[in-house]
Amino acid sequence: MTEILLEDMQQALEEMGKKAVSASRVLASMKTQDKRDLLNAMADAILEDTEKIKTANAIDLENGRKNGLSSAMLDRLALDDKRIRGMADGLRTVAAEDDPVGKILSTTERPNGLKIEKISVPVGVIGIIYESRPNVTADAGGICLMAGNTVILRGGSEAFNSNQAIATAMNRAGVACGLPDGAVQLLPWTDRRAVTLLVTLDKYVDLIIPRGGEGLIRAVTRDATIPVIKHYKGVCHTFVDKNADFNKALKIVENAKCQRPGVCNALECLVVHREIADDFLKKLYELIGDKVKMHGDAEVRKILPAIEAGEPDYNTEFLDYAMNIKIVADIDEAIAHINTFSSKHSESIITECEENAAKFFAAIDSSCVYHNASTRFTDGGEFGMGAEIGISTDKLHARGPMGAKELTIYKYIIHGEGQIR
């Protein structure tokens, strides 16, 4: 690839920003059915372009092999007929969901006769920065579009050709449906400097959503002048209280850790009340000790075989068949431990004591707080939101699973009859 001058890239990006804004103005006032037709047309366009997408993907796979990508990485990158159909189906599913735009959120009539309506509107232009899997191009794009936002995408360099083919199909369908060119755009460079330019394009882009590892997210947050919604790691806790129903507790801990350990809502640290620790942990070890590596301090290691772990290890996100264990004196110590080490994603208390459940709900500062259920439910689909664009660990704008509704904001429209101050 030839070297691109920074100012050329900047100028091209400025043009992309203008196009995204123009398209967003039209998209913002599209009726629900027209947006549904748009997403369905994009699904059709992706299916029509199946061969083109596969050809582009073959180039990425070939490059990946040359660059020594692992077989797991190559598998994530690969697109076949089934995965391409999956992208199209995903767009149709989003198309069928509720339109979050144009809802009257509140109305107020003031003593001077002004009638103030608060109405949901799209955010505008969303920049999405992601790694690896090319289906994110369609999935994330679709949710943004249903909420009335246009997108500027920056995918992983390994999937550059695949992403370009998918975005091209989607944008073409946009134009066919009457949108100006620019509803779905992909940065045409793999150059890393382009990310920095994108996250400072505050004149045109309203929101940045980075999807990927912690390094990517930290870099984006550091450089951005545009608001960022972060999806950091999930260091999720489950606290087994002394009044826990062991049957529930064992099933829930097993599920939270083992059902799919590589995801952000999986359990990473088990917190156990000291009074029942010996009994509970021995039963747990019988249940999952053969497949899950336990980590803990001396007290834990007296009860079961565990790898030595201390304070600095408690924020580890294993994403694997491994977990930390912490024994506490009471619910207050459990809450303090969790609020210190959690990533504010999802935590659960297993107890038959309603009072303790209420205390846990009130005191835990995380996006999703559970009583007697697995943290694995933190997911847009499981919450009944439909598709999700990620799970926010931030505390501004949106927390927890983010669907199309979380990609809207509001404006006030004020009806007057000549009122002055």
Tell me which residues touch its own copies (CB under 8 A). Answer: 25, 28-29, 108, 110, 114, 116, 121, 123-124, 202, 206-207, 221-222, 225, 227-229, 245, 247-248, 251-252, 254-256, 259, 339, 357, 361-363, 365-374, 376-377, 382-384, 394-397, 399-400, 409-421
Shortest Å, Cβ 140 to its own copies: 17
Shortest Å, Cβ 25 to its own copies: 7
Judge contact between 147 and 100, C-beta under 8 A: yes
Residue 67 or residue 419: which is nearer to its own copies going by CB?
A: 419
Shortest Å, Cβ 194 to its own copies: 19
Shortest Å, Cβ 206 to its own copies: 5
Give the whole-angstrom CA distance, residue 332 versus residue 318: 25
Residue 293: both structure tokens together? 């590596």
Residue 104: both structure tokens together? 């009257």
Give the whole-angstrom CA distance, residue 155 versus residue 385: 25
Residue 163 or residue 366: which is nearer to its own copies going by CB?
A: 366
* Strand ranges inside 303-350, DSSP E: 307-308, 322-328, 346-350
Shortest Å, Cβ 250 to its own copies: 10
Give the whole-angstrom CA distance, residue 176 versus residue 170: 10
Residue 62 or residue 382: which is nearer to its own copies going by CB?
A: 382
Nearest to 84 by CA among 165, 3, 7, 20: 165
Give the whole-angstrom CA distance, residue 218 versus residue 220: 5
Residue 356 or residue 367: which is nearer to its own copies going by CB?
A: 367
Phi-psi region of 281 (alpha: psi -120 to 50; beta: other; left: phi over 0): alpha
Beta-bridge mates of residue 125: 150
Q: 268: which DSSP letter?
A: E
Judge contact between 84 and 126, C-beta under 8 A: no
Residue 61 or residue 199: which is nearer to its own copies going by CB?
A: 199
Q: Alpha-carbon dihedral of residues 336, 266, 91, 407, nearest 10 degrees? A: 10
Residue 132 or residue 221: which is nearer to its own copies going by CB?
A: 221
Cβ contacts of residue 127 below 8 Å, gap of 6+? 151, 152, 153, 154, 198, 199, 201, 205, 207, 208, 209, 226
**What is the residue whose two structure tokens read 């809802």?**
103
Residue 5 or residue 420: which is nearer to its own copies going by CB?
A: 420
Shortest Å, Cβ 5 to its own copies: 23
* Helix runs in 224-341, H state only: 246-258, 274-288, 298-303, 331-341
Shortest Å, Cβ 364 to its own copies: 8
Greatest Cα pair distance in the chain: 78
Shortest Å, Cβ 6 to its own copies: 18
Shortest Å, Cβ 187 to its own copies: 22
Residue 90 or residue 401: which is nearer to its own copies going by CB?
A: 401
CA atoms within 13 A on the CB side of 46: 33
Residue 161 or residue 408: which is nearer to its own copies going by CB?
A: 408
Residue 241: Cβ within 10 Å count: 24
